[in-house]
């Protein structure tokens, strides 16, 4: 084969290789988002799935003073930072709870890998007037937030941070 005929073949092979690499990147990003589980306590199916996981048995709640005896202040700071960042993310995405209440109270259970990446999130919105569609939109935004967020708290094993938080309603 002479060089004149080989050039289109090499170009075709290069394009094929380039496209296949792009597909792998998309698959990896999809897998990354699928690794994070979100559960809404108000959804019975979600609650049942969550209960079967027994995450509280395998992920100690670091916000418990009995568990975090020496670094409780650092853990509280990370909890505060996490919710400030979620609040900023909700605002940046123009999220509106569409309720009359000025405060939205949420029971949160975040489950982390040892490196601080969110793996599972369980929530219960305590304001009864928050609609199903708003809970679903909130869950989607937290999922998007969790894809890129890493708590600045490393441990030797998986852990949780569980408690209540109040967000301002628009």
Reported confidence tier of residue 148, pLDDT bands at 50, 70, 90: very high
* Segment among 16-30, 78-92, 155-169 with least mean pLDDT: 16-30
CB atoms near residue 59 (< 10 Å): 22
Domain ranges in the chain are: 1-34, 36-168
The predicted model gives 37-45 an average pLDDT of: 95
Alpha helices of 62-154 — where are they, by DSSP H? Answer: 72-92, 132-148
**Which residue did the predictor score with more confidence, 69 or 144?**
144
Q: What is the chain's mean pLDDT, rounded?
A: 83
Phi, psi of 16 (to 5 degrees): -60, -45
Both tokens of 160, joined, read 């949780």
Q: Rounded to 10 degrees, what is the CA torsion of 103, 49, 109, 32?
A: -100
Q: Would the pLDDT of 116 be above 60? A: yes
Residue 27 pLDDT grade (very low, low, confident, very high; cuts 50, 70, 90) = very low
Strand positions, DSSP E, 4-132: 37-40, 103-112, 118-125
Q: What is the pTM for the complete model shown?
A: 0.77
Please check whether residue 86 is in contact with residue 104, taking contact to mean a CB–CB distance below 8 angstroms.
no
> Other C-beta atoms within 10 Å of 58: how many?
12
Residue carrying structure tokens 């369980």 = 122
């Amino acid at each position: 084969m002479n060089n004149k005929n080989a050039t289109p073949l090499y170009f075709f092979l290069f394009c094929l290789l380039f496209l296949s690499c792009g597909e792998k990147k998309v698959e990896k990003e999809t897998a990354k988002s699928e690794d994070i589980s979100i559960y809404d306590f108000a959804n019975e199916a979600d609650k049942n799935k969550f209960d079967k996981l027994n995450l509280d048995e395998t992920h100690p709640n670091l916000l418990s003073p009995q568990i975090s005896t020496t670094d409780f202040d650092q853990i509280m700071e990370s909890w505060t930072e996490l919710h400030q960042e979620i609040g900023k993310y909700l605002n940046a995405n123009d999220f509106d709870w569409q309720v009359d209440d000025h405060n939205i109270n949420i029971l949160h259970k975040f489950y982390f890998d040892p490196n601080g990446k969110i793996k599972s999130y369980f929530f219960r919105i305590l304001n009864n007037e928050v609609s199903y569609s708003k809970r679903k939109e909130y869950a989607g935004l937290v999922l998007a937030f969790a894809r890129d967020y890493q708590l600045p708290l490393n441990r030797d094993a998986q852990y949780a941070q569980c408690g209540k938080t109040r967000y301002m309603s628009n």
